[in-house]
């Protein structure tokens, strides 16, 4: 019956939500362990802030439709790798690469995809390090894997991305090219400041 089908789909969705939520918790726990270890070892935290989100059902359906895929949890699990998202804001650029390396060292995490938009910024000027990691979740009877998208950036990169994102959403139409150019030049100036702060940090701490 219609009612049975509906409750079946609903149950599937709850299960999916639980799995991806748990995968986020696994990664967040590990990131917190690393951050605490750093403060014990070096009296400093590399992580300024961690945010996470699960894509909303509306947004999942919208993305499946846009890609011309069937509206099902199976299609979402197979094709959408950003259902679970974590954003890590660091203090320095070197902290980003330290965290990337530490995530890569976990032999139970499989890196599915990585993109270094710091070395190769997006045409918009966007900078961040993106990784998609397949994370194991130990459930009551078995282990399941879920992909988690991790965006790692400095406070400065986050400042630019947040404002640019807000500006893009405020204007329903496309941003005019001269403004896009101005945003890109802001991103560049911010990136220079990030490098300058990194150099100051290294000088003060006698690191070469
Ligand atoms: P939201 O609301 O943040 O979730 P690919 O298909 O792999 O080539 P894809 O899937 O577009 O590329 O992933 P990409 O570009 O590696 O990363 C997408 C996410 O990065 C976006 O998520 C944003 O969070 C962020 N991002 C990418 N480009 C920009 C940019 O120019 N400005 C800002 N502010 N953020 C950016 P969503 O799903 O678009 O949005």
Q: How far is C-alpha 46 from the geometric centre of its chain's CA atoms?
A: 16
Q: State pTM to two decimals.
A: 0.94
Are 93 and 154 in contact by the 8 Å Cβ rule? The answer is yes
The reply to whether ligand 1 has any atom less than 6 angstroms from the CB of 67 is no
Ligand 1 nearest atom to the CA of residue 151, by list position: 20
Secondary structure E strands in 55-98: 84-90
Q: Is a pLDDT exceeding 80 seen at residue 203?
A: yes
Distance CA 186, CA 125 (A): 8
The reply to whether ligand 1 has any atom less than 6 angstroms from the CB of 160 is no
Are 133 and 112 in contact by the 8 Å Cβ rule? The answer is yes
% residues pLDDT > 90 (the chain)? 88
Ligand 1: which of 56, 165, 169 to mutate, most ligand atoms within 8 Å of CB?
Answer: 165
Are 47 and 35 in contact by the 8 Å Cβ rule? The answer is yes
The reply to whether ligand 1 has any atom less than 6 angstroms from the CB of 106 is no
Which residues are identified as catalytic? 149
What tens digit of pLDDT does each residue of 99-156 get?
999 999 999 999 999 999 999 999 999 999 999 999 999 999 999 999 999 999 999 9
Q: Delineate the domains of the chain, giving CATH numbers in brackets.
A: 2-156 (3.30.460.10)
What tens digit of pLDDT does each residue of 11-48 get?
888 999 999 999 999 999 999 999 999 999 999 999 99
102's CB contacts (< 8 A; 6+ apart) are 34
Distance CA 118, CA 35 (A): 22
Q: The dihedral of CA 89, 93, 95, 101: what is its sign?
A: positive
Distance CA 144, CA 137 (A): 5
The reply to whether ligand 1 has any atom less than 6 angstroms from the CB of 161 is yes
Q: Is a pLDDT exceeding 80 seen at residue 95?
A: yes
Q: Whose CA is nearest to atom 17 of ligand 1?
A: 130
- Residue 88's closest CA among 41, 32, 38, 138? 32
- Residue 125's closest CA among 174, 191, 173? 191
Q: Whose CA is nearest to atom 27 of ligand 1?
A: 126
Q: Is a pLDDT exceeding 90 seen at residue 174?
A: no
Q: Which residue has the tokens 């204007």?
A: 171
Distance CA 34, CA 12 (A): 34
Q: Whose CA is nearest to atom 26 of ligand 1?
A: 126
CA–CA distance from 106 to each of 134, 135, 186 (Å)? 11, 10, 36
């Amino acid at each position: 019956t219609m009612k049975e089908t509906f409750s079946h789909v609903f149950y599937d969705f709850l299960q999916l939500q639980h799995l991806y939520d748990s995968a986020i918790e696994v990664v967040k726990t590990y990131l917190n362990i690393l951050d605490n270890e750093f403060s014990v070892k070096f009296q400093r935290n590399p992580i300024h802030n961690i945010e996470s989100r699960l894509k909303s059902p509306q947004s999942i359906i919208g993305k499946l439709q846009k890609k011309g895929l069937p509206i099902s949890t199976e299609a979402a699990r197979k094709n959408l790798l950003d259902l679970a998202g974590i954003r890590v804001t660091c203090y320095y650029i070197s902290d980003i690469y330290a965290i990337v390396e530490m995530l890569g060292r976990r032999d139970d995490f499989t890196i599915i995809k990585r993109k270094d938009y710091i070395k190769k910024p997006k045409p918009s000027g966007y900078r961040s390090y993106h990784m998609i990691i397949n994370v194991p979740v130990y459930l009551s009877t078995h282990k399941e894997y879920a992909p988690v998208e991790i965006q790692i950036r400095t406070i400065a990169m986050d400042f630019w991305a947040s404002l640019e994102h807000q500006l893009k959403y405020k204007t329903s139409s496309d941003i005019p090219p001269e403004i896009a150019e101005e945003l890109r030049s802001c991103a560049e100036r911010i990136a220079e400041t990030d490098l300058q702060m990194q150099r100051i940090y290294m000088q003060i701490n006698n690191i070469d």
